[in-house]
Amino acid sequence: MSTLSLSIEAAQRVQLAGLGLLTKPRRRATKADVLACIRQMGALQIDTIHVVARSPYLVLWSRLGHYQANWLDEHLAEGALFEYWAHEACFLPREDYGLFRHRMIDPQSMGWKYSHQWMTEHQESIAHLLAHIRQHGPVRSADFERKDGKGGGWWSWKPEKRSLEVLFTAGELMVARRQQFQRVYDLRERVLPEWEDARDLQAEPICKAQLWEQAVQALGVAHTSWIGDYYRTGRRTSQAALHALCDAGRLIPVRIEGIAGESFLHPAHLAVAEQAMAGQLNATHTTLLSPFDPLIWDRKRAAQLFGFEYSLECYTPAPRRRYGYFVLPLLRRGKLVGRLDAKAHRQQGVFEIKALYLEPQVRISQALATDIAAALAQCAQWHGTPTVVLTHCLHQPFSTLLTDTLQALANQPPPRE
């Protein structure tokens, strides 16, 4: 059997389909759709920056449209999801707990996320903390008063916060729920009482192969070099193991034209790939993406497959930023066409586009302005900041088109629920 060959555009469409970004939502989302969306992606990365909606909520909005953000919190509290280090800190389907258990058993392999020295030097206080949780129930870091006189910066956590995070990485504590987006920690045996290592834990190579397969399924199609980044299973992905998955019918070897080396397609996406190869797979969705969306969280993959160079500049000093503090890529009908620096002014009800930039090859048109204006208006409505204000756009003709289109949308009567 000859190896399938996908054009760049066909591979783009397959990946968008795999990650749930190919077509517009067909109906109003339900709570069940939130869980299904996370299962489709395999992992939903967590980040706390909230100049617009916090990243996990925004990633879901990009796929589901208007939905109730509290549904994500409810799925965590009800046990359908758990939190752990996957790509980074992520919400993960409960059924995948065993795939990450080896990381907890060997926490020293987790780098800065775990400190053996801290565990050794603070044995007594950690034992006291665990006893407190066992006796009194779940805790937040905020439940403990800071007594060392230091500020609460990222790298100057109070001792209890540091201990909670280290115990979380070691799998002794889990996140039972979130309260105002703060983690609420409880004992693993209370959050996941059905799990037993001796009975349920599979060999590490089996778990790693399963994660590779799931990474390809989430991505639809993946070059070998992209697979290990998805769940952070290591830079090198075993070619022998990938070919063993192919022999077992769990992956299909393919080539992506213009990208040297082997790629793999998940069988669940074979029909989609055939449609894409025949030019019959249309991309219709236009939306804003979080910087931590799985479509672009691997910056190298985004550059190779979509020709989109992107970096997050919120940790860059303001004078050195090129685009802005929290820049959201713009996906329009299968292409990454630009980016914008946004801020939701919630008290004023204003969604500010501080700056908007189009990619050099993008052709300015009324259709482009209509698609982007609709996406902006929908995102603003979901935020509860219905007034969209465009502060700066380098492309003057497009700025005028977009402003006029936003104004026309604002003058339309609200849709019926």
Over the stretch 107-133, which tens digit does the pLDDT of each residue have? 999 999 999 999 999 999 999 999 999
Cα–Cα distances (Å) from 344 to 42, 288, 348, 352, in that order, read 28, 14, 9, 6
Q: Which residues contact 1 (CB under 8 A, 6 or more apart)?
A: none
Q: Is the pLDDT score of 229 beyond 90?
A: yes
Cα-based distances in Å from 18 to 40, 218, 361: 7, 5, 26
Please name the residue that has the structure tokens 């003709």: 397
How far out from the chain centre does Cα 225 lie?
A: 19
Helix axes 8-18, 204-219, angle to 10 degrees: 110
pLDDT of amino acid 155: 44
Tokens representing 401 are: 């088109």
21 & 107 share domain: yes
Q: Is the pLDDT of residue 219 over 80?
A: yes
- Whether 5 and 40 map to the same domain: the answer is yes
* Overall domain count for the chain: 2
Q: Decide if 14 contacts 265 (C-beta within 8 A).
A: yes
Q: Is residue 148 part of a domain?
A: no
Total residues found in the chain within this entry: 417
Question: 142 lies in a domain?
Answer: no
CA angle 51, 158, 105 (to 5 degrees): 90
Residue 193 has pLDDT above 60, yes or no: yes
| Rounded Cα gap, residues 227 and 292, in angstroms | 17
Strands (E) across 302-365 are located at 327-332, 335-345, 350-358
- Is residue 158 in a domain? no
Contact 63, 16 (CB under 8 A): no
| Residue where a domain stops, chosen among 284, 303, 334 | 284
Give the model confidence (pLDDT) of 29-80 as tens digits. 999 999 999 999 999 999 999 999 999 999 999 999 999 999 999 999 999 9
Residues 99 and 229 in one domain: yes
Residue 330: phi and psi, rounded to 5, are -105, 120
Q: Which domain holds residue 407?
A: 311-411
Pairing of strands 4-6, 252-256: parallel
- The SS3 of residue 84 is strand
Asked if the structure places residue 299 within a domain, the reply is no
Predicted confidence band of residue 412 (pLDDT cuts 50, 70, 90) = confident
Instruction: Please give the pLDDT value at position 153.
Output: 43
Tens-place pLDDT, residues 269-285: 999 999 999 999 999 99
Residue that terminates a domain, selected from 284, 300, 328:
284
Banded model confidence at residue 364, pLDDT cuts 50, 70, 90:
very high
Using a 10 angstrom Cβ sphere, with 0-12 exposed, 13-18 middle and 19 or more buried, the burial of residue 155 is exposed
User: DSSP readout, 137-149?
Assistant: --B-GGGS---S-
The pLDDT of residue 149 is 54
Please check whether residue 417 lies inside any domain of the structure.
Answer: no
Half-sphere exposure at residue 95, Cβ-oriented, CA atoms within 13 angstroms:
7
Q: Name, in order, each residue with C-beta under 8 angstroms of 115's C-beta and a sequence gap of 6 or more.
A: 162, 166
Indicate whether 7 and 101 sit together in one domain.
yes
Instruction: Judge whether 85 lies within some domain.
Output: yes
Tokens read off for 258: 């213009």
Same domain, 242 and 323: no
The amino acid at residue 125 is S
Contact 312, 350 (CB under 8 A): no
Do 324 and 268 lie in one domain? The reply is no
Rg (CA), the chain: 23
CA gap 45, 292 in Å, rounded = 7
Helix (H) or strand (E) holding 222: strand 221-223
User: Do 252 and 396 have their domain in common?
Assistant: no
Question: Are residues 334 and 206 part of one domain?
Answer: no
My answer on whether 9 and 83 are in the same domain is yes
Q: What CATH number is given to the structural domain containing 354? A: 3.40.630
Is 301 a member of any domain?
Answer: no
Inside any domain, residue 266 = yes
For residue 263, pLDDT over 70 is answered with yes
Q: Six-digit token pair at 166?
A: 């280290």
Give the pLDDT mean for 233-258.
93
* Whether 211 and 108 share a structural domain: yes
Name 356's bridge partners. 340, 393
Listed residue (372, 312, 370) closest to 337, CA to CA: 372
> Does residue 318 share a domain with residue 269?
no
Residues 271 and 390 in one domain: no
